[in-house]
A = this chain, B = another copy of it.
Amino acid sequence: MNIKIKEEARKMKLDAPKLAATAPEQRNRALEMIADALQSHASEIFEANHQDMEAAKASGVAAAVCKRLKFDEGKLRDVLGGIRQLISLPDPLGKVQLERELDEGLKLYRISCPIGVIGIIFEARPDALVQISTLCLKSGNCAILKGGKETVHTNRVLFRIIYESALAAGMPEGCMLQAEQHNEIDELLSCHKDVDLLIPRGSNQFVQYIMNHTKIPVMGHADGICHIYVDEKFDPEKAIPVIIDAKTQYTAACNTVETLLVNRKIAGEFLPVLADQLQAHGVKIRGTREVNGIIPCEIMEEEEFHTEYLDLILSVKLVEDVREAVEHINYYGSHHTDCILTEHQEHAEYFMQMVDSAGVYQNCSTRFADGFRYGFGAEVGISTGKIHARGPVGLEGLVTYKYRLFGQGQIVGDYASGKKKFHFRDFV
């Protein structure tokens, strides 16, 4: 079914204030109905997913990818748990962020409200559709959802169940829309008059394509080049498990470490021990000539430190001190998540102040950069941009605010002429 995204987006934009005006109880009720309906339609969902899995196997999709396509009892339990957590979170809308009397009888409020219409293009994980659509609903945002074609049958069933439940709970018709055709992505990119924000999730090239072909603000990240710096004052008991976890716990994730910077003073002792552990976990080491003088590794050039492997490969370089580590990270990094392994509090403070990234860590795995692990309930993505939201983006990243000014006939002319004066009294 080919829908006219442009026309639909226009309608959604005009419907968006209706969704924004719904009561929090009503939005939570919709989430409850969605959870119930997903549960009662479980067999239908699994059947559709079976169809997608068969098609994937038939077309030779790798087993690792197939694992992500799967939507079974376990995944259903997870998404239902996510929805229940979302219901329990406080309403992000209608919060009074500022209450200021500008002058007698002239009162300004800044109140949180939804962004409006959000377009989300996500990879081939059907559970992402449930997470993203329910996050948007809770935050009062209309959502245009485009999932991966590998799970088209699962997505279609999931969307129908979610959308019908939302309507039954009184949400406006334009609250969500599913796009299924690949060519609809380009149409969506041209809807800058009606779509307020795009959140693409996928490969570096895909996100770059989106960023280069739209005037709509884009939130997310292309690269995830995360670093770990092993300081001279490090604790090897912590360092080795953290490095192994950050590299191997889920290789394809954006928060996986790609580059290890090691303080020159401790490299001779530390690197051989680490190399054994990395080898035992199947990680290939690439390093500078200097690193190659200490442990066997493939030699790499300086400009290759821009590389995101998303694979069992690690770049290694020696640095003089925390200052040089910070310089390297700010120059070659992607401003995602970077970690220092140190027991030296001043070095940690310097690192966390000076590294220009969404996440700066001391003594823990970069893999913690995630909405669930930060306690946000869920995330729509991780932003390496610095505008609006940074790092994992949950409910708070999906709201903006508006200024409400209540007067009694005040005009600016009286303040310009000096007849009246502002007195600015804050209440919130």
**A residues near B, CB below 8 A?**
13-14, 16-18, 20-21, 100, 102, 106, 108, 115-116, 196-197, 211-212, 215, 217, 219, 235, 237-239, 241-242, 244-246, 249-250, 326-327, 330-331, 348, 352-365, 367-369, 373-375, 385-388, 390-391, 400-413, 415-416, 422, 424
- Asked whether, in the complex, the Cβ of A403 is within 8 Å of the Cβ of B373, the reply is no
- Asked whether, in the complex, the Cβ of A249 is within 8 Å of the Cβ of B215, the reply is no
Q: CA separation between A387 and B117, bound complex, in Å?
A: 12
- Asked whether, in the complex, the Cβ of B385 is within 8 Å of the Cβ of A390, the reply is no
Partner pick for A374 among B108, B238, B367, B374, CB 8 A cutoff: B108
CB distance from A355 to the nearest CB of B (A): 7
- Asked whether, in the complex, the Cβ of A411 is within 8 Å of the Cβ of B331, the reply is no
Q: CA separation between A373 and B250, bound complex, in Å?
A: 51
Given contacts A353-B20, A374-B403, A406-B363, contact A412 B245 (CB under 8 A): yes
Q: CA separation between A115 and B102, bound complex, in Å?
A: 28
Q: CA separation between A217 and B373, bound complex, in Å?
A: 28
- Asked whether, in the complex, the Cβ of A409 is within 8 Å of the Cβ of B235, the reply is yes
- Chain B residues within 8 Å of A363, by CB: 406-410
- Asked whether, in the complex, the Cβ of A17 is within 8 Å of the Cβ of B353, the reply is yes
- Asked whether, in the complex, the Cβ of B387 is within 8 Å of the Cβ of A388, the reply is yes
9 pairs of residues in contact across A and B, judged by CB atoms under 8 Å: A13-B330, A17-B330, A102-B374, A115-B387, A197-B386, A239-B409, A241-B411, A249-B416, A362-B405
Q: CA separation between A413 and B407, bound complex, in Å?
A: 57
Partner pick for A410 among B100, B348, B368, B422, CB 8 A cutoff: B368
Partner pick for A249 among B355, B359, B413, B424, CB 8 A cutoff: B413
CB distance from A428 to the nearest CB of B (A): 13
- Asked whether, in the complex, the Cβ of B354 is within 8 Å of the Cβ of A21, the reply is yes
- Chain B residues within 8 Å of A249, by CB: 411-413, 416
Give the nearest-CB partner of A355 in chain B: B17
Given contacts A365-B412, A410-B364, A412-B365, contact A17 B356 (CB under 8 A): yes
Q: CA separation between A212 and B359, bound complex, in Å?
A: 31
Q: CA separation between A412 and B248, bound complex, in Å?
A: 10
- Asked whether, in the complex, the Cβ of A406 is within 8 Å of the Cβ of B102, the reply is no
CB distance from A150 to the nearest CB of B (A): 24
If A17-B355, A217-B217, A390-B400 are given as contacts, then 8 extra A-B residue pairs at C-beta distance below 8 Å, sorted by A number, are A21-B353, A102-B375, A115-B386, A212-B215, A217-B385, A373-B412, A374-B403, A391-B402
- Chain B residues within 8 Å of A355, by CB: 17
- Asked whether, in the complex, the Cβ of A400 is within 8 Å of the Cβ of B386, the reply is yes
